[in-house]
Structure 1
Amino acid sequence: MSPKHPMIPGLICCLLAILLSGCGIMPNSGASRMQVQRAASSKNLAGVLVKEVDAALARKLSAEKRSKAFADVFGDARPREYLIGAGDSIVISIWETPPSILFGSNALAASPAGTLSASAEALPPQMVMDDGTVNIPFAGRIKVAGRSVRAVEKEITGRLQGKANNPQVMVRVSGSPTSQMTIIGDVARSANMPLTPKGERLLDALASVGGVTQPVTRVSLQLTRAGVSATMPLDTIVHEPKQNIPLQPGDVLTALYQPWTISVLGATGRNQELPFEARGISLAQALARSGGLNDNRADPGGVFVFRFEDASLVDAPSAANGKIPVVYQVNFNDPGAFFVTQNFPMQDKDVLYVANMPSAELEKLLRMVGMVLTPTLNLGRYQLQVSE
C-alpha cells in the first residue's frame, strides 16, 4: 500500500489557518452586537451614545414625541360672537315709526289697509376704515371695529334718539374678509374660507376645498393660530371627534404630506425601506412589518435603533444643533422587551438593525470549511486509489 500523499495534510492545515484567521472575509449583514458596543465606546465613534431601552425610557420617549392634541393646545370652545373688523363691509338699515322725521321719502305712506306704515332707509354699504369707523347720517362717525353687531345697533339707535321718530336700527355684515381662514398645502385647491356663526370646524374646511390629495393616513394637519402652531395626523382627527375643533378668523390650516420611512437592515425577514403612517409606529410594529427576527441568524439581544436624538431626552450634553447620535439597544432575551417595544416610537429616517447571532457566524465558517475541505479530501482519496 502506497503512503498517503505528502501534500494533503499541509494543504488542509493551510486552508484551515486562512479561514480561521480571516473570518472577517465571510459574507455578513453587518456588525455583531459586541462590535456595535465596542465601536460606540471607541475613538472611531466618539460622541455616540448607546442606551439600553427599558420601560421608563420607552415611556419618556413616547410622551415627548407624541404630537400635542389640538384640543389641548387651542381648546374646543365655540367661536365667540363675531366682531366687526377693519375692511369689513356693513349695511345699515334704519326704521322710523310714522310719521318719519329723518328718513323715508314718504313720511305718511299708507298701507293697503289705509294705516300709516313704518318706512326704512337702507344706507349704502360702507367699508370699515382703517381707523375702525363708519359715518352715519345724523349720528356722526362711530367706531365699529372690534365690536359686535348688536353693540353697534344699540349705539346708532341711541345717537338717533330725539332726532328720528322712535328709530330702530339693523346692521348687517355684507363682506367679511376679517372673518376668514386660509387652507393650503396638499389639498385639491387652496382657498380662503369665510366663517359663519355656525362654527365651522377643521374637517369642514377640508371638505370645502375638495379634501386632501394624498392618502389620509399619510397626511398631517398643521394649525397656526395667533402665532401658535400644532400638528396632528389627519386620521387621528377623523377618529377622535374632540380634535375636530372650531376654527377662528385668521387661522391657517396646512395639509402636510409626510412620506416617513425607516431603513430595516440585518437579520430580519426583509431588508427594506419601510414607509409608515403619519400617526407613527412603534418598534414592535416596525419589526413585525419587516418580517420579524430571522430564526436562523438573528441575535435577540442585538436589536438596535440608530437615530440622531434630542440631547435633552437622553440626558446628554447638548451638541451644536441640539442633537446627538444615539444607538438604542433592545434585548429580546428579556420577555419584558415585547412590552417595551410597543411604547418605543420610531421616527423618520431611523435605521433599525438586527445583528447576527455568533453561532450563525460559526455555522457559516463551518460551511465554508466544508466547502473547501470536501474537494481536497476527495482529491486525496482519488490519489490514494490511483497509487494503490
Structure 2
Amino acid sequence: MRKIGTALFCLILVACARPSDGPSASSFYDAKDPATGRDIPVVRLSQANLSSAAPGQVTYNPADPGLSIFRSSGANDTRLRQGDVIEVTIIDTGEEGLFSSANSRTLPLGRFTVDATGNVVLPFVGKQRVLNSSPEALQSRIVSGLKGSAVNPQAVVNVVDRPGYAVTVGGSVHNPGRVPLSARKERVSDAIAMAGGALSAPASTIVTLMRGSRKASAPLSRVLAEAPQNVNLLPDDQIFVQDSAPSFTVMGAFKSTGEFKFEPGQLTLAQAIGRAGGLLDDRADASQVYLLRNQVTYAPVASSNGKLLPATTTVTNKPVIYRADMKDIATLALMQQFQMANGDILYAGNSGLVDFAKLFNVYQKSPNLPAASPPVAPSR
C-alpha cells in the first residue's frame, strides 16, 4: 500500500509539471496582447476573411518622409579640386606655328593631376593655379599662354577622374565601392545601378542614405516609384543597401523548424507548410496548427469634411492567431488561398498521446524514493 501511495504521489508531481516543448492548445485561447492586456483572438481558418487576412502591398508607413529629407539640387559643381585628373589637348588651325612641321594639327598633352596646392604643371604654359577654376577658364588661360607659339591655338580640357567627387555604395550590391559623380546630377538609383544593382528584389531591399550626421531609409521599391525619394546625391554621400527579404518562422511538430525566407512572389500557408516538410506524423496534432501574426495596417486619417489627409496616417498593430485544422479537407483548400506575411510564426502542437508518452518516460526515469526505516527499539 505504501508503494502505491508513493507512486501516486510521484505521478501527481510529474503531472503538475507536464513535460512539453511548447504551448498547449488551450494556452492559445488564453493569450493576451502584452500592450493592451486584451485577449488575442483565435480565428479558425474556415471563418477568416481571406482578403483582410492577406498582407497589404505597402510595407512602410506612407507618412514616413524617408529619403525625401535630403533636399539638394544635385552634384553640379564643375570647379576643379585637389586630386582631380584632367586631360588636355591642343589644336592649332594656323598654317605656321607650333604644329607647322607636324603631320597632325592636334597635340594631346596628356593627363595631369591637380596637386595638393591646387596647381597643375602643363607643357608650353607652365604652372597654372586651377583650384576652384572651371575647365573652360583653364582652356582660356592655356590659349593665352600659347600666343606667339601657335597661330590660332585652341585648347580642350576634360575632367577624366574626380576621386573626391564620389559617393560610397555598400551592402547588398554586386560591386560595392566608390561611385564617381558627374555634372549630370546622379540620383540614388543611378548610384545603385553603377554599383551593379541590388542583389535582392526592390520590395525586399532597404536603402539607407547617410549624409554627414543625418541618416534615413526607404525601400528600394519606394525609391523607384516616388520621385521625392530618389534624391540627388552630393559628394561623400554614403549609401547602404540591405537585403530585408521577408521571412517566416516554423516551430513545434514540423519536420523542419527555423526561419525560412520568402521565395519571389506570394507565399500561401500551404506552400509554407510544404517548405517546412509538413507535420511529424508520429508527434503532431494535425487539428492544432496555429499561425501567429502581428498584423500592422496603415490607414490615412480623414478630416472633418471626409477628405483624406495625405500626410497623416494611423498605424494599427493588432496581434491575431489563426487556427488551421488540417484534418478538415475544406481547411486544406483554404490554405491554398491564405497568404503568408513577413514575420509570421507557424506552430504545430503535440498530440495528447505524445505528451502522455513523455510523462510516462519521465516517471520511469525518476529515482526510487528510499523506503522508510523500521522504528528502532529503545535500549534498556
TM-score normalised by structure 2 residue count: 0.49
When Rg is computed on C-alpha atoms for both structures, the one with the higher figure is 1
- Between Structure 1 and Structure 2, the one with more helix by share is 1
TM normalised by structure 1 equals 0.48
Relative to its length, the structure with more strand (as a share) is 2
